Amino acid sequence: MKTPISSFYKAVLFAFFIITSHVLWAQPIPLNKYGLEIVDQIALYKQLIRKDSNQRLVDVTAYIPGILTDVRYATTNNFTKKQLYNYPAVYLRLPAAKALKAVQASLSQMGLGLKIFDGYRPYQVTEKMWETVQDDRYAADPKKGSGHNRGVAVDLTIIVLKTGLALDMPTDFDDFTAKAHFSYLPADSNILANRTLLRSMMEQHGFRALETEWWHYYLPDYKAYPLIDISFELLAISL
């Protein structure tokens, strides 16, 4: 017959095993030159998603069939005039992808859909962007990192499903002028309505807008997701 003491010691030993296993298994996230935690190894990334499935980066084009993309950073057609990605890809953390899927479903009832310009962005790309535009209204300061580096920010617009054509917005993507701000009031009421529709749909599904870029939205709990500096190529292999 088991005594209360033996049961107590078994419980203590089990708790000790769980704690020590966690400590031995847990790998600290390394700090970069600015003191920021950066996940830059696939092994560490996989460790995070084993502990929390919401940390997973998913391929948005596979997760939301039919969604359009225009990943300009995989070309020279962007504000840096350099190709920043080796190939076009859009990844987002699972909660952001789920929310975006709901936005797409709501818009589809109106004959509309989404076109994505960018999602997850490796931290090293943010450093390259900052070399070109050192203005934190339009580019993330590497000393802080970006919601894109965390996989919970997305740049996008609305398209007409039948034609694939984008609705008119105040500016093109990555236009770093006051016309891209939400405080700017377009003379054309249709353009204002289009911008308002995008914001209202994104906010209804949990995103927040960046006031200086009509195309940029992010999840408010972005700090729950570490900054990442892993290439698309390595992510594709790990999926």
- Residue 213 designated active-site: yes
**DSSP, residue by residue, 179-214:** GGSTT---SSHHHHHHHHHHHHHHHHTT-EEETTEE
Of the candidates 37, 127, 131, 213, the residue annotated as catalytic is 213
Q: Is 181 assigned a ligand-binding role in the annotation?
A: no
Q: What is the DSSP letter of 74?
A: G
With helix as H, strand as E and coil as C, how does 22-60 read?
Answer: HHHHCCCCCECCCCCEEECCHHHHHHHHHHCHHHCEEEH
Q: How far apart are CA 14 and CA 53, in angstroms?
A: 25
Handedness of CA 20, 21, 23, 24 (dihedral sign): positive
Q: Establish whether 22 is an annotated binding residue.
A: no
Q: Beta 227-228 vs 38-39: how paired, if at all?
A: parallel
Active-site annotation, residues: 213
Binding residue positions for Zn(2+): 148, 155, 216
Binding residue positions: 148, 155, 216
